[in-house]
Structure 1
Amino acid sequence: MFLEIVTPEAILFSSEVDSLTVPGVNGEFQMLNNHAPVVSVLREGIVNIHIHSQTNIELDDLHGKLVPDEADDKILTLAISSGTLELNDNKAIILAD
């Protein structure tokens, strides 16, 4: 699935991912490839991005909010205060604050 995370300041992430876990208003949920279409409001919490490898991922100053998980280097985490998520046709877009 393709994931794009956009904030008012910049595009923080744009790449293929294996799965995605987000803090929905009714609880945390995970999406994999070929997931049914979803539109959801996100609450404050942690977005977990499961990637195949970090070879094509740049974690520079612009993307400094994305942090590799200490226990698993194939998981990137992003703290958000709120946002919205749309997933359709294996493309997820998160508009985050």
Structure 2
Amino acid sequence: MFLEIVTPEAILFSSEVVSIYVPGVNGEFEMLNNHAPVVSILKEGTIKIESENFKVDDKFASKFSKTADGKISFSINSGTLELNDNKAIILAD
């Protein structure tokens, strides 16, 4: 599936991913390829991304870190998620 993480400053990440784990206001959840369409408000927490070829622009690399299980993490204060047709867009604050 394709993931794009957008902030007021820039598009931080735009690439194919294996899975996305997000902090929804009604609980944390994970999305995999062919997941049902979803729209959700996100609360403060960590987005975790599993990607085979994680690449991010050098000027945004400091915003991402790697977890012990090899996933990429990105902290947010709040946000919105839309997933439809294997394309996820996260508007993060």
TM-score bracket for the superposition, by shorter chain length? over 0.9
Say whether residues 1:62 and 2:60 are aligned partners.
yes
* Structure 1 residue aligned with 2:69: 72
Structure 1 residue 42, shift from structure 2 partner: 0.2
Structure 2 CA distance, aligned partners of 1:30 and 1:13? 18
Structure 1 residue 64, shift from structure 2 partner: 2.0
Where in structure 1 are there 5+ consecutive unaligned residues?
Answer: none
Structural mapping, 1:1-97, within 5 Å: 1-54=1-54, 57-58=55-56, 60-69=58-67, 71-73=68-70, 75-97=71-93
Where in structure 2 are there 5+ consecutive unaligned residues?
Answer: none
State TM-score, norm by structure 1.
Answer: 0.90
CA RMSD of aligned residues (A): 1.2
Contact 1:59 1:66 in 2 (8 A): no
